[in-house]
Amino acid sequence: MLRPRIIPCLLVRDKGLVKTVKFANEKYVGDPINAVRIFNEKEVDELIVLDIDATVKGVGPDMKMIERLAAECRMPLCYGGGIKTVEQARSIIGLGVEKVALSSAVLANPGLVADIAREIGRQSVVVVLDVKKKLFGGKYEVWTHNAKVNTHKNPIEFARQLEDLGAGEIVLNSIDNDGVMKGYDLGLVEKVRKATTIPMSVVGGAGSLQDLAGLIGKFGIIGAVAGSLFVFKGAYKAVLINYPSTAEKDKLIQEAYPC
């Protein structure tokens, strides 16, 4: 039976684990392999790892690092960063990764979604939409290259197009809420959720388990993704890899979304 998922999201730069605030003010928080080992012990639902260097530097996926991550992971792994071709996606899946996450390459060539879905299966194709609200007018737009390039695409309309092309899942990422830890942009989530029927996960803003519960309570079967919440602890944001226990997670989901 399908159920909501609670998913840590790890950002990697120069093979190190980092965390950002609004896609800037980067802070080094450790070794991603060590983080994966800890999350294994905590029996997380799924793990998203995004290499935020690859697209900006114009390089392809780091296959050696991906192989190490996949070998360590005992949970489903979604990997993104620098994927531009069907061949790269196929190779990553061949290493034991369950899903590939696409972003800038799909914004430039939406047909890539259909090409990759035909090769590896729709269920393994994830598209990450990094979304920011315009300062004036309140409209949302999709950005790429670590929020440096504005595509001027409407995320609601583009999400609908991605579903038609064969995307298996959308990860909706709020640039404005990234690392702020004051809650998700539920208004944005609602707009995109109403436009699509494929699985969706949401990242950007979670600062407490109550934020996760609020997202699940409103949208039901959804991926509640968090970065800072699962790598920091306390008011001073000490680095501490954490995740709710199985009992805490089950209680949170049951109370938020009885099924």
Task: Write the pLDDT tens digit of every residue in 204-219.
Answer: 999 999 999 999 999 9
Q: Is 151 in contact with 142 (CB distance < 8 Å)? A: yes
* 186-195 and 209-219 helices, crossing angle to 10°: 30
Q: Which is the catalytic residue, given 130, 178, 185, 211?
A: 130
Contacts of 84 (CB under 8 A, 6+ apart): 60, 105, 112
Q: Which pLDDT belongs to residue 152?
A: 95
Q: Measure the CA–CA gap between 244 and 242, rounded to whole angstroms.
A: 7
Count CA atoms within 13 Å of residue 185 on its CB side: 22
For 127, other C-beta atoms within 10 Å of its C-beta total: 27
- Where are the domains positioned within the chain? 5-131+144-256
Is 176 marked active-site?
no
Q: Which pLDDT belongs to residue 1?
A: 59
Residues in the chain: 259
Burial 220-242 (b: 16+ CB within 10 A, else e): eebbbbbbbbbbbeeeeeeeebe
pTM: 0.97
| pLDDT tens digits, one per residue of 32-80 | 999 999 999 999 999 999 999 998 899 999 999 999 999 999 999 999 9
Burial 75-111 (b: 16+ CB within 10 A, else e): bebbbbbbbbeeebbebbbebebbbbbbbbbbbeebe
Q: Which pLDDT belongs to residue 138?
A: 83
Residue with tokens 């934020």: 211
* DSSP for residue 122: G
Q: Which pLDDT belongs to residue 72?
A: 97
Residue 67 tokens, joined: 């192989």
Low-confidence ranges of the chain (pLDDT < 50): none
Q: Is 70 in contact with 91 (CB distance < 8 Å)? A: no
Closest alpha carbon to 228 in 203, 201, 251, 202? 203
CATH of domain 5-131+144-256: 3.20.20.70
